[in-house]
Amino acid sequence: MSKVRVLVGTRKGAFVLTSDGKREKWDVSGPHFAGWEMYHLKGSPVDPNRIYASQDQRLVWANHSALG
């Protein structure tokens, strides 16, 4: 079964929510970049463990496996 990942940007940082295809139980990872306002998160289509995060007009990237 496939996995589902939702990337959430908030005023308190970035969060990664993951679940299986049924979406009955969710695991929450974060906050990443704690205390930073995150306006946009995007997963890399080439490397699923890489997340691009936008705070204001800058672009910050991080390897998701290094965050967890």
**27 against 56, higher pLDDT:** 27
What backbone phi and psi angles, to 5 degrees, belong to 26? -115, 140
> For position 11, what pLDDT does the model report?
86
Specify whether the CB–CB gap between 9 and 47 falls below 8 A. Answer: no
* Domain parsing of the chain, residue ranges: 3-67
**pLDDT digits 0-9 by tens, 6-50:** 999 888 999 999 999 889 999 999 998 888 888 888 888 888 788
- Strand partners for 54: 40, 59
> For position 50, what pLDDT does the model report?
87
> For position 57, what pLDDT does the model report?
53
Is 0.75 surpassed by the pTM of this model? no
